[in-house]
Structure 1
Amino acid sequence: MASGPQPQPESAALLVAPPFASDRAEEAARRRLRRNRRLATGLLAGMGVVFVGTHLAEAPGFAVLLLRSGAEAGIVGGVADWFAVTALFRRPLGLPIPHTAIIPNSKDRIARTLGRFIERNFLTEEILLRKLADGQVGQRFAAWLAAPGAPVIAGLVAGALPGLIRSLEDHDLQDFANRTLGEQLRRADLAPILGRVVELATASGEADILFERAIGIGVGWLEENRNQIDRLVEARSRWWVPKTVDRRIAAAIVSAIADLLGDLRQPDSEARLKFREALTGLIEELLRSPARRDQINASKNRILDSPEVQAWLASIWGQLSRTALQDLADPASKTRAALEHGIALVGRALAADDAMQAHVDAVVRRLAVQLVAWRRKLGGFVAEVVRGWDTRTLTDRLELVVGSDLQYIRMNGTIVGALVGCAIFLMSRLFG
């Protein structure tokens, strides 16, 4: 004999009860279930009234007997279907009848079947890859990202940033970050990194461009500050030296520096060649000289250990975090607008790049293949989740979903039963 559903602890029910879509949807489902249940019960009761009424007739004729037969068969059909529908969810009239309360007593079997069904019919490589190929994930993602997706993602990021920023202000977290990052930075060998950066900049020509721009800035500064240089020379000259001589000295200094800078701007000049040699020597020292490496790393560690530098970095972070929080609290947040604009730009660029869309499709396919490899565990996870649901709540939710439609089975059973009863009565009269 099957046992009834065992009540779960209230705390467990709160944790494992499967949620309904929303309170409004749940209330609408309950109203629909109550309405259809009343209709089915009312139809069955009507058949009972007809059956009793026809028996009260003193001299029943053909019509009365026909109605009595239809009502009798309708009652049988309605009661049978009521029993069948009720037995799915609970024990009819609370009686311990075998093979009733099917869903509560079969929850574990339903869980295992659902897990296997998902594993074998959804999480297969053939099905997933075919759906992904038909879905054009990269193209659709780009289109979504360019239009409706940008505000959505920007809103999510902007909504999460204040909490993230405030969490980073926690002293314990800051101490942990300072210890962890500080230790990693102290262990880092900065000299080879600087050497590679300078080497790459030199090989690509960026160092020459930067150098020429710096020289151009220096020449312009000299031209703009000639009078200031004259005053500096005059202030440091002897009192007995004529001012005309001071001005000539200042002009000679400016001219000499300008000539030197002009020579440095010429790609094939001797000064420029010496600069390149010095840069090559610096790269060699950064990459291979232990003494230079120790010197740079020692300087780096002194900077990291300096209280003034740490206080300066902390003040910068504090100012940036306050500014960011104020901006994110503004309905017209510049940060949110910048995020939305940047995401939309990425979406439009992706929408115009077939190669990147193909790359997105390839990444999604690889993820799908990895998902297939985990299908047994995923199916087991689904089964475990369903098995952990509260039995009473699960039954109630399932009845809300399909119970109102099952009431039509009761109605149809009552009506069909009545029609069959009438047909049997007519055939018995016709062939009797």
Structure 2
Amino acid sequence: MKVVATGLLVVMAGLFFVSRALEPGRPWLGFVKAFAEAAMVGGLADWFAVTALFRHPLGLPIPHTAIIPRNKDRIGDTLAQFLKDNFLTARVIARRMRGLDLAGAAGRFLQAPVESEGRALRIRQGASRLIADVFESLDDERLGGIVKTAISSRLRAAEVAPVMGRALASAIAEDRHLPLLEAAIRALARTLDANESLVRELVRKRASWMLRLAGLDEKLADSIMEGLRKLTVEMSTDPDHPVRQKIQGALIDLARDLQEDPDTRARVEGWKSDLLANTSVATWLDTLWQKGRAAIIAAARNPDAVLAGRLGEVLRSMGGTLERDERIRGAVNQFARRAAAGMAASYGSSIVRLVSDTVRGWDARTITARLESAVGRDLQYIRINGTLVGGLVGLVLHVIDTL
């Protein structure tokens, strides 16, 4: 386009000199000369204007030329301020995101079939590769240490006794403790049967010599075993058995103490601290991390297999819920808007400063070349249009002068 614009200017110059030389005796060539003369003026003027934006015309330090290189710092600051005022403020982002249905888009994405060959599959595969590469490239020991430290710190900071108390109270209120209680009774019965010989030996040792001499120690042991077995059977079959009621009362008291009693809560916290300080727990956390990391990488490397299984069914169900449930979709979209607005409020100034500092760091040639390349062919069309428009103006003026 530079060649075309410059070539048109040269053609107009040649046309001017030819028409000027041949004009005597040919009055009509005056119109051609006027057009070519004005076209040269228009083309040269627009060449000067376009060149003056980016550099000094012909290398001459003419005032008010090379405008962009001289003002690149101000341009960077203005561009950064424009980004901040129009894109990176919490109010603007919240307003622009108000019409975006991110939850619905996520729901449709999660419901996309695994075998589809469309955009959703490409995005999923790209995201999966990225996740796998990130987890494999990160230092396993350091990342694992960070994860384990974070989990351990959260567990140490959290007071577990009230949570346990509320969970136990809720289970008792909904009778969800009964299967556990009945299982404990059955376990007690099995323990009695498995240790019958031990019970008989204890009775024989504790019985007096007179009972042993009369052979009554065996009868006493039989009575004790029969009574214990009868107790377990009655506890198992009678929901209102007194022993069961006492156990339930003890559980209710425990749930209340876990929530309200300072001594009980302090004891539980002490047990928790001792448990977290145990090396076995650290080993368990390390094993948990390694298995979780391996599972994430395996799932990311083969997302289609994961989405085709039970997890895929769960994700597709989540996608359907996101797309259909207005309340959940509204909550997710509101959270996304608040998160984006919060990030803009927190990091918008840093992003703006990054833009400004980056432009300031460019040299004059870099910013000139980038802006000139961005505008592209239109700069040369300005020169072409200036040449043609100038010629037409010159022709009109010559016609008016002639008339």
TM above 0.5, yes or no, is yes
Q: Which amino acid aligns with 1:163?
A: V
Aligned counterpart, 1:92: 57
Q: 1:332 to 1:64 in 2, by over 3 A?
A: same
Q: Does 1:260 align with 2:232?
A: yes
**1:412 shift after superposition:** 1.2
- 1-structure distance, mates of 2:262, 2:91: 58
Aligned counterpart, 2:26: 61
CA contact (8 A) 2:322 2:328 kept: yes
Aligned counterpart, 2:165: 195
* CA displacement 1:84-127 (0-9 Å, x = unmatched): 11111111111101111112222233334434545555678886
* CA displacement 1:193-225 (0-9 Å, x = unmatched): 43333223223332235435x369769x97xx9
Aligned counterpart, 1:314: 286
Q: Does 1:278 align with 2:250?
A: yes
**1:334 shift after superposition:** 3.0
- 2-structure distance, mates of 1:151, 1:306: 46
1:189-228 equivalences under 5 Å are: 190-212=160-182, 214=183
Aligned counterpart, 1:245: none
Aligned counterpart, 1:419: 392
CA contact (8 A) 2:94 2:338 kept: no
**1:424 shift after superposition:** 3.0
1:57-136 equivalences under 5 Å are: 57=22, 59=24, 61-118=26-83, 131-135=96-100
Aligned counterpart, 2:371: 398
Q: Which amino acid aligns with 2:400?
A: M
Q: Which moved more, 1:284-293 or 1:398-407?
A: 284-293
Aligned counterpart, 2:210: none
Q: Which amino acid aligns with 2:321?
A: A
- 1-structure distance, mates of 2:361, 2:111: 40
**1:420 shift after superposition:** 2.6
Alignment RMSD (CA, Å)? 4.7
1:22-33 equivalences under 5 Å are: none
Residue of 139, 149, 159 corresponding to 2:130: 159
Q: Does 1:345 align with 2:310?
A: no
CA contact (8 A) 2:144 2:289 kept: no
1:9-20 equivalences under 5 Å are: none
**1:428 shift after superposition:** 3.0
Q: 1:343 to 1:388 in 2, by over 3 A?
A: farther
CA contact (8 A) 2:54 2:368 kept: yes
Count how many residue pairs are aligned between Structure 1 and Structure 2.
377
* CA displacement 1:271-309 (0-9 Å, x = unmatched): 321220221243355456666556555544444344445
Aligned to 1:206, the other structure's residue is in SS state coil
Aligned counterpart, 1:384: 356
**1:359 shift after superposition:** 2.5
Aligned counterpart, 2:6: 41
Structure 2, gaps ≥5 residues long: 113-118, 202-220
- 2-structure distance, mates of 1:424, 1:179: 85
- 2-structure distance, mates of 1:183, 1:374: 26
**1:152 shift after superposition:** 3.5
- 2-structure distance, mates of 1:297, 1:167: 34
Normalising by structure 2, what TM-score?
0.71
- 2-structure distance, mates of 1:131, 1:64: 61
**1:415 shift after superposition:** 1.4
Q: Which amino acid aligns with 2:324?
A: A
CA contact (8 A) 1:158 1:336 kept: no
| Aligned sequence identity (%) | 30
Q: Which amino acid aligns with 2:166?
A: R
Q: Which moved more, 1:335-344 or 1:355-364?
A: 335-344
1:230-379 equivalences under 5 Å are: 257=229, 260-261=232-233, 263-264=235-236, 266-287=238-259, 296-315=268-287, 317-322=289-294, 324-326=296-298, 328-330=300-302, 334=306, 342-363=314-335, 366=338, 377=349
- 1-structure distance, mates of 2:181, 2:27: 116
Q: Which amino acid aligns with 2:242?
A: E
Q: Which amino acid aligns with 1:68?
A: K
Q: Which amino acid aligns with 1:66?
A: F
**1:50 shift after superposition:** 1.7
Structure 1, gaps ≥5 residues long: 1-35, 239-248
Q: Which moved more, 1:320-329 or 1:347-356?
A: 320-329
Aligned to 1:51, the other structure's residue is in SS state helix
* CA displacement 1:54-102 (0-9 Å, x = unmatched): 3444855134333222222111111111111111111111110111111
**1:405 shift after superposition:** 0.8
- 2-structure distance, mates of 1:319, 1:255: 50
- 1-structure distance, mates of 2:89, 2:276: 54
CA contact (8 A) 2:186 2:236 kept: no
